[in-house]
Amino acid sequence: MATTEPIIPGFHPDPSACRVGDTYYLINSSFEYLPGIPVHASTDLVTWTLIGNALTRDSQIAENDGYASAGIFAPTIRHHDGQFWIIGTNVNEIPLGRGHLLIHADDPAGPWSDPVHIAGAVGIDPDIVWDDEGVAHVTWHSLNPAQPGILSAPVDTATGAMLGAPRQLWQGTGLSAPEGPHLYRVNGWWYLLLAEGGTERGHTATIARARSLDEPFESAPNNPFLTHRSLAHPVQNVGHADLIELADGSWAAVHLGVRPVGPSPGFHLNGRESFLVGIEWVDGWPVADEDRFVVPAVDRSFDDRFDSPELHPRWLGIGRFPATFTRPGPNGGLVVDADAGEGRALIVARAADSEWAVETTFAADGGEGRLLLRIDDFHWYGLTYDGHTVEASVTIGPIVHVLGQWNPPAGAVPTLRLAAKAPRPLPHGISLEPDLIELSASVGDTAYSFGELDGRYLSTEVAGGFTGRVFGVQALRGQIHIHHLSYTTAPDYHATT
Ligand code: 6LW
């Protein structure tokens, strides 16, 4: 059961990874959140550290408070000739016809360059690879109705210009949504890996090979070589993989998966996550070894007092860079300013565990703030505080409902708390909910619970889309002053997954 534990849990979909020496780097899709494209590093492939984000300024990506699952889709990271390269798609730019964005960096922690765009490449999920002559080839899932499918073209990485007309490569085994292409040069072959079947329960990874990019690709005899479709496995939606050669010459693949829980049809709560499998090459084809790696449990708790001048890279804005609406507090902490520019003044971080608690205290300072857990604008639970009253509210689709109010003792700043808890077990082992979200507030020993809500309304199966749960604090009015925000992994987490 080695693969039941993600290597990077929480909303970290579409992993792509590369290696330099003994160090591995992994990136993910980031959709509406900015800064975009989280970059993790590892030396053992099973424990990863967030070292930065690739898209950190508006000269790389325009701020855009639009549809939650637009923005950055499925990027690829590679290292070539002493430099790191990331190619990705900003879906908000597809109508502009701008093409995929290509950036590079000396240090994967950043800063990353301003982008060049692959003009004329209209689609998603781009990959970049260099051939034996050093020419870069970009491969993507085309959204151009005149030339659909998986396309590939040589490009000039300095300008983004295509150096030849796009050609169609292998279109997959015939399952739906062939996408997420990655091309590799291995032992004189070109291997083309695809995600097929769609990013839901039918998801798979498939592969084919050809001697040259102009020849027909031959599908692997063991396709799909990685999938959990129709299996009674706690990790589902397995697909969208990227192969990596390890320092010792063995191989592995990072891939996307989810952990659905609760009653049928199963609800996944923290989004699409990053997993790892070993790869054996058998007769020239990759075969997944799902038991090769054991991923250790990691305590992801933190207590952020915002006492360094730069925000930790875990903090994101919705279509906005947090630096545009936050600043260090006068005596520590963080000021979040609802009046700073357009859009929401909301900092969020990804929920990573099955059970956790988030606590914060902030001074309303004449304004009003909210601690919330969200999957998108139409699915969130929150606690607002205006200096006098704590109010709990939920938004589920078009239904906006106030659960209740609590007045803490005058003059006291309450601690606001959201906690994800295990569902109520039923005698036959099936729970009624995927999890429960408790909303509460306290001052000292006096606590008030607004109740425990079914967590399914903050799941992808209910909300739709490609992201996952994030928690954070929003200034609704004026400038609120956050003293701290802590995230605590429940100690019994592993007993419940
Ligand atoms: C991505 C596609 C996919 O573009 O989901 O799981 C889409 N695979 O390849 C959004 O992440």
74 pocket-lining for ligand 1 (C-beta < 6 Å): yes
Structure confidence at residue 139 (pLDDT)? 98
Rounded to whole angstroms, the Cα distance separating 297 from 495 reads: 11
Q: Ligand 1 mean position to 256 CA, how many Å?
A: 9
Pairing, β 334-337 against β 390-396: unpaired
- List, in sequence order, every residue forming a beta bridge with 454; answer none if it has no partner: 436
The residue whose C-alpha atom lies closest to atom 10 belonging to ligand 1 is 73
Please list, residue by residue across 438-474, b when 16 or more beta carbons sit within 10 angstroms of its beta carbon and e when fewer do. bbbbbbeeeebebebbbbbbbbbbbbebbbbbbbbbb
Confidence of residue 261 (pLDDT cuts 50, 70, 90): very high
- For ligand 1, the distance from its centroid to the CA atom of residue 195, given in whole angstroms, is 8
pLDDT for 493 beyond 80: no
Task: Give the whole-angstrom CA distance, residue 93 versus residue 60.
Answer: 12
* Phi, psi (degrees; rounded to nearest 5) at 481: -125, 105
Any ligand 1 atom below 6 A from CB of 14? yes
Topology at the third CATH level for domain 302-489: Jelly Rolls (2.60.120)
Q: How far apart are CA 473 and CA 359, in angstroms?
A: 10
Residues carrying an active site annotation: 14, 179
- State how far the Cα of 65 lies from the Cα of 31, in Å rounded to an integer: 11
Q: What is the C-alpha to C-alpha distance for residues 71 and 175, in angstroms, rounded to an integer?
A: 26
- The overall average pLDDT reported for the chain is 95
Q: Which long-range contacts (CB under 8 A, 24 or more apart) does 78-85 make?
A: 78/18, 78/128, 78/129, 79/18, 79/19, 79/20, 79/25, 80/130, 80/136, 81/130, 81/134, 82/106, 84/18, 84/25, 84/108, 85/128, 85/157
The per-residue pLDDT for 206 is 98
Give the number of the atom of ligand 1 that is nearest the alpha carbon of residue 237.
Answer: 6
Q: Look up the pTM and report it.
A: 0.96
Q: How far is CA 355 from the centre of its chain?
A: 19
Pick among 2.50.20.10, 3.40.50.720, 3.40.50.300, 2.115.10.20: CATH of 16-289: 2.115.10.20
User: Is 89 close to ligand 1, i.e. is its CB under 6 Å away?
Assistant: no
From 141, 228, 466, the mutation candidate for ligand 1 (largest count of ligand atoms within 8 A of CB) is 466
Structural Rg of the chain based on CA atoms: 23
Minimum-distance ligand 1 atom for the alpha carbon of 179:
9
Q: Which has the closest alpha carbon to 484: 417, 412, 438?
A: 417
- What is the rounded CA–CA span in Å between residue 359 and residue 485? 6
Mean pLDDT of 383-398: 97
Per residue in 29-83, pLDDT (tens digit) is 999 999 999 999 999 999 999 999 999 999 999 998 788 889 999 999 999 999 9
- Interval between CA 180 and ligand 1 midpoint (Å): 7
Is any atom of ligand 1 closer than 6 Å to the C-beta of 13?
Answer: yes
Predicted pLDDT of residue 430: 77
- 16-289 and 302-489 share one fold: no
pLDDT band at 491 (very low <50, low <70, confident <90, very high): low
For the chain, the domains span: 16-289, 302-489
First-residue to last-residue Cα distance in the chain: 12
73 lines ligand 1 (CB under 6 A): yes
**Centre of ligand 1 from the C-alpha of residue 32, in Å:** 14
At residue 361, does pLDDT exceed 80?
A: yes
Distance in Å, CA 469 to ligand 1 centroid: 17
Instruction: Provide the 8-state DSSP code for 420.
Output: E
In whole angstroms, give the CA distance from residue 154 to residue 100: 14
Q: What is the mean pLDDT of residues 226-248?
A: 97
pLDDT at 67: 82
**Residue 495 confidence (pLDDT) above 50:** no
Taking only the tens place, the pLDDT of each residue in 416-464 is: 999 999 998 887 777 899 999 999 999 999 999 999 999 999 999 999 9
125 CB near ligand 1 (under 6 Å): yes
Query: In sequence order, what E strands does 13-148 have?
Result: 16-20, 23-27, 33-34, 36-42, 49-55, 72-80, 83-90, 101-105, 116-117, 123-130, 136-142
Phi, psi dihedral angles at 461 (to 5 degrees): -65, -25
Q: Do the Cβ atoms of 256 and 238 come closer than 8 Å?
A: yes
